[in-house]
């Protein structure tokens, strides 16, 4: 939920394969991240792509870096108006496993 009366810039991540570097087993090898407001899909991401803006945002909030531009982890960098939102993670191709959802407010 975003409170107040001004939009906030938010980083949302779905880490799956990246968790393996921390010794987590059974990871979700290809997570898809979708962001909803109510029943409306606002944005989605499958394979974050290694963009500079996302990498910089990871550093700004102190989040660990994903293993590389080709990792199949997912991330969104969005500006959200006040209100309630839902981040949903699913496995591409009906995959299952362990994933970590992280939400950070950017400065």
pLDDT of res. 38: 97
Q: What are phi and psi of 48, to 5 degrees?
A: -65, -30
On average, the pLDDT of the chain sits at: 97
pLDDT grade for 55, boundaries at 50, 70 and 90:
very high
Q: For residue 28, which of 20, 19, 16 has the smallest C-alpha distance?
A: 16
Q: What are phi and psi of 101, to 5 degrees?
A: -100, 130
Residue 79 near residue 38 (C-beta atoms within 8 A): no
Helix/strand/coil for 67: coil
């Amino acid at each position: 939920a975003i409170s107040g009366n001004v939009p906030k810039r938010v980083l949302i991540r779905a880490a799956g394969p990246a968790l393996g570097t921390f010794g987590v087993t059974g990871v979700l090898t290809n997570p898809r991240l979708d962001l909803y407001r109510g029943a409306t899909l606002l944005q989605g991401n499958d394979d974050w792509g290694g963009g500079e803006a996302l990498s910089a945002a990871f550093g700004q909030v102190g989040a660990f870096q994903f293993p590389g531009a080709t990792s199949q982890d997912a991330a969104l960098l969005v500006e959200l108006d006040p209100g309630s939102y839902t981040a949903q993670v699913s496995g591409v191709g009906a995959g299952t496993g362990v994933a970590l959802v992280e939400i950070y407010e950017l400065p």
